[in-house]
């Protein structure tokens, strides 16, 4: 069994309108995502065509963060993960953390986040 290499994008941010409260849907807030792609990296080639284009992944993440509003950041993370797995056949696993640092929580906190890991080899029920 071979171990996977990784490409990691940290701190991709965008304004989104996710949440269950009307003010979240109306006013929006900043969401931040970290993405780690698990794959076998080609280290003998110096050609962009031989790897995952991380600029395209960043654009995909930004589009989900700023796209169709969802009630839960768990759903947002799932959509990002699915998009990353579909984007390039070389990606075998993806770990996504979605941060909601401005979540409407009454207690003082510095961050609220969810982290999920998905794999092409594991089928999840819909």
Q: Coil, strand, or helix at residue 1?
A: coil
Nearest in space to 113 (alpha carbons), one of 74, 67, 70: 74
List Cβ neighbours of 66 (8 Å cut-off, separation of 6 or more). Answer: 14, 15, 16
100 labelled catalytic: yes
For the chain, report the end-to-end CA distance as a whole number of angstroms: 29
- Encoded tokens for 2: 């071979």
Q: How far apart are CA 67 and CA 12, in angstroms?
A: 14
| Catalytic option among 18, 79, 100, 118 | 100
Q: Which regions of the chain does DSSP assign to beta strands (E)?
A: 5-16, 29-39, 93-99, 113-119
Query: Which residues are part of the catalytic machinery?
Result: 100
């Amino acid at each position: 069994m071979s171990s996977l290499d990784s490409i990691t994008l940290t701190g991709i941010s965008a304004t989104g309108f996710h949440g269950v409260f009307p003010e979240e849907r109306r006013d929006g807030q900043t969401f931040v995502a970290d993405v780690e792609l698990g794959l076998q990296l080609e280290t003998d080639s110096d050609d962009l065509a031989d790897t995952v284009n991380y600029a395209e992944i960043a654009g995909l993440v930004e589009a989900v963060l700023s796209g169709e509003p969802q009630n839960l950041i768990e759903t947002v993370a799932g959509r990002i993960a699915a998009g990353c797995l579909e984007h390039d056949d070389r990606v075998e696993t993806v770990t996504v953390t979605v941060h909601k640092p401005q979540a409407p929580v009454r207690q003082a906190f510095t961050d609220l986040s969810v982290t999920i890991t998905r794999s092409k080899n594991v089928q999840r029920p819909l």
